[in-house]
A and B are shown apart, each in its own frame.
Chain A
Amino acid sequence: MRRVLAALFFVSCAMAAIAAPAPGTLADPAQEARARNLQKELRCMVCQGESIDESSAPLAADLRALIREHIKRGESDDDIKRYLVARYGDFILMEPPFDADTYALWLTPFAVLIVAAGVAIWVVRRAAKAPQAEA
């Protein structure tokens, strides 16, 4: 049941993924590897949580072609990402950026870890001082 909704979202993408044309691969294997890596870091805008590498709705197919165009023009990975973010916003990045909007997102896990560790130290120190009763 958890998956009904996911399934509904996946349907469009799953079908599209299989329907996608084989990507017109780049002749240079190094460039092609870059393209594949980039694809994994970019989100399919119309799917639920899939990268444009695995899910290929028509938009994702277009983006894959676009990435290869830009690579052929000699742009760096960062250039291409900047270009896409300018067009689609941060939403297209699978890895959220680290900026004012996302400090809380990135730092919370480690803040919780540090606070929890601090509490644990406090608990252990207090327990060591507690009366030694029979368990």
Chain B
Amino acid sequence: MTGEIGQFALCLALALALVEAIAGLAGAQPANALARRVAAASAAGLLVFVGLSFAALTYASVSDDFSILNVAQNSHTLKPLIYKISGVWGNHEGSMLLWVLVLSVYSAAVAWSRRGSERLTSAALGVQGLVAAAFIVFILFTSNPFVRLDPAPFEGAGLNPLLQDFGLAVHPPMLYTGYVGLSAAFAYAAAALITRERDWARAARPFMLAAWIALTLGIALGSWWAYYELGWGGFWFWDPVENASLMPWLIATALLHSALATERTGAFRSWSLLLAIAGFSLSLIGTFLVRSGVLSSVHAFASDPTRGLYILVLIFGAIGGALALFAWRAPGLEEGTAFAPVSRETALLLNNVFLTAAAATVFIGTLYPLVLDSLTGTRLSVGPPYFALTFAPIFFALLLLVPFGPRLSWQRGDLRAALRTLGPAFGIAAVAGVAIFAFTTPRTLAGAGAFALAAWLLAASVVDVVRRGWRLLPAAALAHAGLAVTLIGVAGTTLWRSEALEVLAPGESMEIAGYTLRLDDVVGAQGPNYQAARANVTVLRGGRTLAVMHPERRLFPAERQETVETAIRTTIVSDLYLALGDRRDAGHWTLRAYVNPLAPFIWLGALVMALGGFAALWSRLRRPRAMPAAHPAPAE
């Protein structure tokens, strides 16, 4: 029954999504108050029925209902409960359902928030209804998670053990909250074009902020997972899957800044609309192309042509439709008020120049090998060295300019005054750079530069808070400081990491960066659905025992796969990272060790950035819904 309930609820949800689309778009006409109420009601109904459908699939997974193909393929009776739940979105079909669930939450939130005018809200609901309908059709016809299996097997095939992990259980919902949040910004942008409303940026801002926070945290979680689970100590590989989530983040960041100007002075009005469209387009591309496998190989598309074709139609429909609407309506938009070359507006514009170029770099670096392969058959690798030579300089240039933005006033800023207040920050940056260059080994200019840049950003944020006080939540200062913290982590780990790989017999030791690691023994252990080989490694420094660490290898019999469970001992300023290799002859084991200086700062920085986002969101939600026209006041 569960499967049928889920299927039926999803069909009803499709009907409601269509009603929401039609009523919402009809409600964009001034006279149609009834249509607006219908649209809001169907948004609520959509949430109820998609929620019911998702609950049905979750129940099927938790109760080991292997008569449902999706559960049989992705679950197992012995799998711990949390992974039976997270396994729901650990596969293509379920993750699409999660996508629609998040979308319907956002749609209900738009219906409830009433931040824009009634017509704007209604048109936004209409656009969300269209997107929801397109996705539900896609699920029902090409990726149905409720397909039955007859006869039902006694046991499921299990979930990829790499995904049976807390970080990866939380990562997808977080990332989807970000991706789909951009669909809310997109819906408001399209609604603004449809209704010719001016005030869309203010209505959409809480959704942009929520999306940006979720994307920031989602990407950080993914990176953290890769760090501790994959077992070679890296945190970012520039692989297409990661790049697909980075591009929407870059565009969302650009949008947050550009929309700030649009909201306050009406500047960059069409550009902000275009960014909202681009952000959601990249989310769609990220969702689909990664899931359909096309990013790893162009040939993956051929394996399921119906699905691939539908995806292409959906992506081109959404992007093409939005751009056509833009081309039709944008030329009629009013221009914003004047601003001087030295002003907050110009600073935000520069931010957008660099972020757009950075996003374009990731885009071409990710897709170029695919395009080249399909056009000429030449295979090419675009690896980290490419991004180090293109993305890194562009992004560093942006970071260098970040402190100026908050220092300049709207419309006409005072560069001299900005430089004066930033004087101390500049001094601190110079001292930090010189100190790093003088006192660290190996001595690197890159390290000195990175730390000077980080100190520059941090000190500028402190200056910001000191001058404005804590009364106003220092959202920008926090977000910018977060960038600095992440930069410190990235630089420390990349430039000063040590590594060692040795084959040890029990009782033997190896050395790394001043630590002595003694492999005491390797014992067997039994987990809920795996068997583990667990090493006891004593960590000594200067003859004193610091800790005993337990890196593991786990064998999952149901999935016939092995995973590496790393052991990480962190002092916040440095990680000692151990991964147990395979068993060699005569009781020898390989042991891989890394010392990653400052590694935790990478993810700590993302947390601080997200905190800045929360501060902005909080001060937004506290404000009365109808704000009087903007006058020069401190930005958030």
Which residues of chain A have a CB within 8 Å of any CB of chain B?
A: 1-11, 14-15, 17-23, 41, 43, 48-51, 54-55, 89-96, 101-102, 104-106, 108-110, 112-113, 116-117, 119-120, 123-125, 127-135
Contact present for B290 and A2 (CB under 8 Å): yes
Closest 10 CB pairs of A and B: A94-B383, A95-B385, A1-B172, A109-B361, A113-B357, A130-B338, A49-B239, A91-B379, A6-B241, A112-B360
Query: Is B29 close to A, CB under 8 A?
Result: no
Please name the residue on chain B nearest to A95 by beta carbon. Answer: B385
In the bound complex, residues from chain B placing their C-beta under 8 Å from that of A10 are 162, 230
Contact present for A5 and B241 (CB under 8 Å): yes
Residue from A93, A95, A106 whose CB has the most chain B CB atoms within 10 Å: A95
In the bound complex, residues from chain A placing their C-beta under 8 Å from that of B386 are 94-96, 105-106
Query: Is B464 close to A, CB under 8 A?
Result: no
Residue from A7, A23, A124 whose CB has the most chain B CB atoms within 10 Å: A7
Classify the interface of chain A: helix, strand, loop or mixed: helix
In the bound complex, residues from chain B placing their C-beta under 8 Å from that of A102 are 368, 380
Contact present for B241 and A41 (CB under 8 Å): no
Listed stretches B136-144, B202-210, B342-350, B567-575; interface member: B342-350
CA distance A71 to B379 in the complex (A): 27
Partner of A105 from B171, B346, B365 at Cβ < 8 Å: B365
Contact present for B226 and A3 (CB under 8 Å): yes
Contact present for A127 and B267 (CB under 8 Å): yes
Known: A95-B383, A95-B386, A127-B339. A1 touches B89 (CB 8 A): yes
CA distance A130 to B234 in the complex (A): 50
Contact present for B338 and A18 (CB under 8 Å): no
Q: How many of B's residues come within 8 Å of A, CB to CB?
A: 94
Contact present for B237 and A50 (CB under 8 Å): yes
CA distance A2 to B238 in the complex (A): 13
Which residues of chain B have a CB within 8 Å of any CB of chain A?
A: 89-91, 95, 98, 160, 162-163, 168, 171-172, 175-176, 222, 225-226, 230-232, 234, 237-242, 244-245, 264-265, 267-268, 286, 290-291, 293, 295-296, 335-341, 345-346, 349-350, 352-354, 356-357, 360-361, 364-365, 368, 372, 376, 378-386, 389-391, 394, 410-411, 501-503, 553, 561-564, 579-582, 590, 592, 629-632
CA distance A10 to B462 in the complex (A): 41
Given A22-B501, A108-B361, 5 new contacts (CB under 8 A): A7-B168, A21-B503, A41-B385, A130-B336, A135-B630
In the bound complex, residues from chain B placing their C-beta under 8 Å from that of A94 are 381, 383-386
Known: A11-B162, A95-B383, A95-B386. A2 touches B237 (CB 8 A): no
